Structure 1
Amino acid sequence: MKGYMLFRRDTSGRCGGEVALFVKLRLECMEVCLGVDDKQVESLWVRIKGQTSKGDTVVGVCYRLPEQEEEVDEAFYRQLEAASQFQALVLVGDLNYPDICWRSNTAKHKQSRRFLESIDDNFLSQVVEDPTRNGVLLDLKLTNREGLIGDVKVGGSLGSSDHEIVEFSIRRRGSRAVIKITTLDFLRATLSLFRDLLGRIPWEQALQGRGVQENWLIFKNHFLQAQEQYIPMSKELGKGGKRLSWRNKELKHKQEVHRRWKQGQAVWNAYGKVVREGTNETRKAKAHLELNLTKDVKDNQKGFFNNKRKMKDNVRPFLNGGRP
């Protein structure tokens, strides 16, 4: 393709499954060797040099066979762990995990759940929401930096491919992205229809003879379907906002280490350790705040209602008759 540099990795012994990446010639780039199990995994990694003081971005392309062996999956996870140590990572590809529900972050099969664990362990997020092939989301876009991927659009096809085209942009490092926060809007919910829909499901028949995990997934699937149908979503733009009441000095350290890591002044291992410790401290701080609010609710009603969202009187309970 004129005006582009081609990076590719061909498969041997079978048809299909090759991966390729075109990079504009004006961009300084080079292929990256992660040094872990490169031969087993159909992937390639390219480092694109950023502007001065903006840092580089690593772009990975991967293809996973629908019935890929666990050994190859584990090799890919080791690659993913190594690639996640770069400060800005974008991974794209057809990873063939059709059973994953990205909205609830759950999966039916063992290998799919292992993939979700790897994403969480490496602090990655998946940004594509719409299905990309026959009503299923197969083509994923993963990143380790919030706001790095934007303007995601799904639609159309290329040539004879049965996959939808996924368009997106990689934002410049340091550009400020507007964060969209989506929440459930219970004030506009139709809870009577929500109750009726769940009440019509023959739960004993649906859950009989199954294990705990499978029963939970069945219940969660029905619950989320009813929620999507009768409880609308509302979007708010996040631009900082008020100081979180549960935030303390220890939690500020996490933000400071994150700032140093972005500037290349801290290594990934140190940052990852602080993130894990910060997550635990956040949970403890929230629990401690809620405990204090409930203890002092009689003497400090203002503090209680400043931290808990008020609900209108016309929002009825889920069960008829108002019984808990």
Structure 2
Amino acid sequence: MPMLGVKSKAQLKCIYTNARSMGNKQEELEVIVQQDSYDLVTITEMWWDNSHDWSAAMDGYKLFRRDRHGRSSGGVALYVRECFDCLELDDCDDKVECLWVRMRGKANKADILLGVCYRPPNQDEEADEIFYKRLGEVSQSPALVLVGDFNLPDVCWKYNTAERKQSRRFLECVENNFLTQLVSEPTREGDSLDLLFTNREGLVGDVVVGGHLGLSEHEMIEFLIHGEVRRGTSKTATMDFQRADFSLLRTLVERVPWETVLKGKGVQEGWAFFKKEVLKAQEQAVPMCHKMNQRGRRLAWLNRELWLGLRGKKESLPLLEEGAGNSRRIQGSC
């Protein structure tokens, strides 16, 4: 993915991906985020549930997420650099996979409202209308950015036309709320599924499509938000493993008669019990400290060999896909 150059203080560097299951992609995502120093990371189709509470955390970022309830896959998430002052808006309707976060603007600057949405291919008209109602409300914000996978391959964004009734209704909602769609290239197998909207000219720029997270079929979208947001003082506490008593931690964990207490428990029940006991031991053996700004610090597990390998993978992807990408653009131009 092409580099966007040095960013100013009035720019937020953002990346979006449809992960098609985060699975074993979390470490790769962390490398990508650290390497290019993103401020915002938006994800659809994480396929997370409560068992991913530990693995989903990313050092230096606040995580907002909405898992799909009662069904597998799906879900949306947003990582925001923890130094920024932001707040998630209430949205309790489980029929729509969407979350909204308000980023506080500096004095005399507008707040930026950022939305992440996943619309399943089989979503019914009732759920669509719930989303459209909410979109109409948030579009009153003077600075709105919405990104996600809307699964509307029949929409031609060049001419704002569509074949299916639901797609035409989506276009009508976009027009009624004065939104502009900024992704001009296909993002999955010649189709424009992943989209980026804004309601203010000049708010979003330098949109770049390219690269994949792991084996996801969706291409990532990189973009800049031009706006000044308020930075807050982080009061986040974190575990200080440098002062941890690992002998005590080992002793506390070994005291638990694991074979006896886990006997007869299912996978989920057993995992919940294991997590509870380890956390209990961790509270006694690992002291807490206030987290400092760790921008630019290399991940502990990331040695030079891995860093160069992953960096080379990212830089080579656009070259490897250039031929296929050109043909996809021709096929998906309308």
Please tell me the TM-score bracket, short chain as reference: 0.5 to 0.7
Among 135, 153, 166, the residue aligned to 2:190: 135
Correspondence for 2:94: 39
Q: Describe the SS at the equivalent of 2:134.
A: helix
* Aligned-partner Cα distance in 1 for 2:144–2:108: 17
Report the residue type matching 1:94 in the other structure.
D
User: How many pairs does the alignment contain?
Assistant: 174
Distance in 2 separating the partners of 1:126 and 1:32 = 23
- Structure with the larger helix share: 1
Match of 2:139 among 84, 99, 112: 84
Residue 18 (structure 1) aligned with residue 51 (structure 2): no
Q: C-alpha distance in 2, partners of 1:61/1:158?
A: 18
Q: Is the 8 A contact 2:68 2:97 kept in 1?
A: yes
Residue aligning to 1:248: none
1:195 corresponds to: none
Structure 2 residue matching 1:169: 3-state secondary structure: strand
Contact kept, 8 Å, 1:148 with 1:173, in 2: the verdict is no
How do 1:169-208 residues align onto structure 2 when only pairs under 5 Å count? 169-172=224-227
How far did 1:170 drift?
0.5
Confirm whether residue 30 of structure 1 aligns to residue 101 of structure 2.
Answer: no
**In the alignment, residue 11 of structure 1 is paired with which amino acid?**
R
**Equivalent position of 1:4 in the other structure:** 61
Within 2, Cα distance between the matches of 1:137 and 1:64? 13
Work out the CA distance in 2 between the residues paired with 1:69 and 1:137. Answer: 20
Secondary structure of 1:77 counterpart: helix
CA deviation after TM superposition for structure 1 residue 129, in Å: 0.3
CA distance in 1, matches of 2:103, 2:127: 27
Distance of 1:91 and 1:154 partners within structure 2: 16
For the 8 Å contact 2:62–2:81, the answer to whether it is kept is: yes
Query: 1:121 aligns to what?
Result: 176
Deviation at 1:39, TM superposition (A): 2.4
Larger RCO, structure (CA 8 Å, separation 6 or more): 2
1:62 pairs, out of 117, 141, 148, with 117
C-alpha contact 2:204 2:223 (8 A) present in aligned 1: yes
What RMSD, in angstroms, separates the aligned Cα atoms of the two structures? 1.7
State how far apart, in whole Å, the 2-side matches of 1:19 and 1:28 are.
20
Identity of aligned residues (%): 56
Cα shift at 1:17: 1.0
Unaligned 5+ runs, structure 2? 1-57, 230-329
TM alignment of 1:229-244, pairs within 5 A:
none
State the secondary structure of the residue aligned to 1:164: coil
